[in-house]
Amino acid sequence: MTAKNTEGSEAATLPKASAEQAIIEGRKQKAARLRERKENPFANDSVPRNGGTTFAIHALRAEVEGARAEGEGRYDEAKVKAATDGKIFHLRGRVIAIRVAGGLSFLRLRDGTGEIQALCDQSKLGAEYTKLDDLDIADVIEVEGTLTASKRGELSIEPARIRLLTKAYRPLPEKWHGLQDVETRYRQRYVDLVANPDVAQVFRARSFIMRAVRKILDDQGFLEVETPTMHTLIGGAAAKPFKTHHNALDMELFMRIAPELYLKRLLVGGLDRVYEIGRCYRNEGISTRHNPEFTMLEFYQAYATYDVLMDFTEVLLRGADTALAAAMPADQKAWKEGRPFTFDEPFARVPMADAVKRGAELTDIPAWKTAVAESGTGLVALLRGGFVDQMKEWSKSSPRAKKLDWGNLRKGFEKCDNDGERLFCLYEYLCEPFLMDDYRSKDGTKSLPVFVKDYPFETSPLARKNDTRPDLCDRFELFVHGRELCNAFSELNDPEDQAARFLEQVNKKAAGAEETMDYDEDYVRALEHGMPPAAGFGMGIDRLVMMLTNSASIRDVVFFPLLRKES
């Protein structure tokens, strides 16, 4: 085992890049020696050869769950031997630690389900023991042997056969146990997954969550479909798209920002309940909640309203969390205990104008309180005439007023073209940052998810106007601890109204607005064939996974997030 003891020391005096290269060269030399012995350092024929049975490490541990010492977590050697009765086990995995003590070598082996120790005894292995000289941390190996317990009570496999399957040329980075460097973790996710096993748990959770969402929708009679990801027009949401080009057709195309308009065409065609989980692309900034490429769930239900979808949203989210608890009970329990929000109580449902009214009252500016005596639209009327002269005084009037982003509130308000946009602007700066504080669980320890509903129609070009309040749309967004998760509304199915709103988007684009939709003539034609009354829903899967797993950044739930090029 001399190579284990010298790999680091031989390179220790060299510069970092040279030291790593020296280690790589040393490992390549070991691979060359294997080839000289007619052994493949990159084998693909891993099967039992000594009569063993192949096991995943987690399944192997389940075989001997009852072999622990009474009242202790340690394994009892005699009980392990009795439970397995000489059975031979065949395991594969990555070597993550090597320790040598005299004629004993201890290898820590990890597969996708867990870890186990390989206790290699020179007196028992004989000539096989020399194969350990060819092994390094990060190599992938197979072992075959019987189970035992070490003197410290650790479950171990005693190999009668050891074989290298894949030689890892590159060493793991320094201090790779608990690797914390964010740039390295995201850029080299393969190292991150080795160094931080909890990272893999988050991605396993993602898979279970997506599976649960699909099952809930399938059980409700929804049909999963696929729609184009390359569009000839910008539509389905107000966002800046990525552009591409089709050479054979000589066409400029846009990567989809949402599948909405195609899914609603399917409602016209008679598919009353449809959903799609797919990739969408938006050419926008990158943040802890935004990645240019993301996964979106959208579903559409004929003969439903946005009130129906509010109820179903609570069912969907609780159902996904319950499925996660069944699949990963220990992890979900820890995540749930650490969440600053709760799904265990009914979600708050707040019209936008009421949210602005409450926000104005809590900000404790006397003129604002008078203006919103009946509704948040009163504050719109007060501020419409200008409020720059009062900003300095108002910004100091209360602790909450001091937290407002007055500069951007003023800039945003002045850009608005109508009272609907002004109300939405007030909501964004006066209310949205404080939702987690204003709506709490009964005991006050957790924030409540909040449905903000009844948006001004000017801010929602695809949503249906309210029948009794045509200045509003039947729309809601769900915020969980201050983070937007869902957007949904009763669908606009009047082709003339839709055409007029598309024209308004075109006019905004002509005036310089970047995040607008194109006029989609074919979609208007589809509506002219008659789309049944319906409601539609959109949710970012990445954000859902972030919330359920208590992840701080979208990059923690996307395997390979977009990063700047390495300099």
Mean pLDDT score of the chain? 92
190 and 156 in contact (C-beta within 8 Å)? Answer: no
Alpha helices in 385-418 (DSSP H): 388-394, 399-403, 406-415
H/E run at residue 423: helix 419-426
pTM of the model: 0.89
Dist CA 331 CA 346 (whole Å): 24
Mean pLDDT of 409-414: 95
381 and 367 in contact (C-beta within 8 Å)? Answer: no
Please give the pLDDT value at position 15. 66
Please give the pLDDT value at position 315. 98
What distances in angstroms separate CA 534 from CA 474, 527, 529, one per listed residue? 11, 12, 15
- What does 174-215 look like in DSSP terms, one character per residue? TT-TT---HHHHHHTHHHHHHH-HHHHHHHHHHHHHHHHHHH
Radius of gyration of the chain (CA): 30
**Full set of structural domains in the chain with CATH:** 2-171 (2.40.50.140), 179-339+499-567 (3.30.930.10), 344-480 (no CATH)
517 and 487 in contact (C-beta within 8 Å)? Answer: no
156 and 124 in contact (C-beta within 8 Å)? Answer: no
The pLDDT > 70 percentage for the chain reads 96
Dist CA 222 CA 266 (whole Å): 12
339 HSE (CA, 13 A, CB side): 26
CB-count burial class (<10 Å; 0-12, 13-18, 19+) for 181: middle
Rounded to the nearest 10 degrees, how much is the dihedral formed by the CA atoms of 315, 318, 319, 325?
A: -170
Mean pLDDT of 504-510: 87
Amino acid letter, residue 121: D
Residue 29, Cβ neighbours under 10 Å: how many?
11
**What pairs with residue 231 in β-bridges?**
254
Please give the pLDDT value at position 175. 61
Dist CA 148 CA 154 (whole Å): 8
pLDDT at 97 over 50: yes
pLDDT at 521 over 90: yes
The full 3-state SS of 305-363, as one line of letters, equals CHHHHHHHHHHHHHHHHHHHHHHCHHHHHHHHHHCCECCCCCCEEEEHHHHHHHHHHHH
List pLDDT tens digits, range 244-266.
999 999 999 999 999 999 999 99
pLDDT at 2 over 50: no
Q: Are strands 53-54 and 534-540 parallel, antiparallel or unpaired?
A: unpaired
279 and 295 in contact (C-beta within 8 Å)? Answer: yes
Mean pLDDT of 27-35: 96
pLDDT at 99 over 60: yes
Dist CA 431 CA 437 (whole Å): 10
150 and 117 in contact (C-beta within 8 Å)? Answer: yes
CA-wise closest residue to 155 among 65, 50, 48, 54: 65
List pLDDT tens digits, range 287-337.
888 899 999 999 999 999 999 999 999 999 999 999 999 999 999 999 999
Residue 261, Cβ neighbours under 10 Å: how many?
20
Q: How far apart, in Å, do the first and last CA atoms of the chain sit?
A: 39
522 and 502 in contact (C-beta within 8 Å)? Answer: no
Please give the pLDDT value at position 253. 95
Residue 416, Cβ neighbours under 10 Å: how many?
18
Altogether, the residues listed in the chain come to a count of 567
Dist CA 264 CA 225 (whole Å): 12
- What does 220-249 look like in DSSP terms, one character per residue? TT-EE----SEESS--SSS-PPPEEEETTT
Rounded to 5 degrees, what are φ and ψ at 350? -130, 120
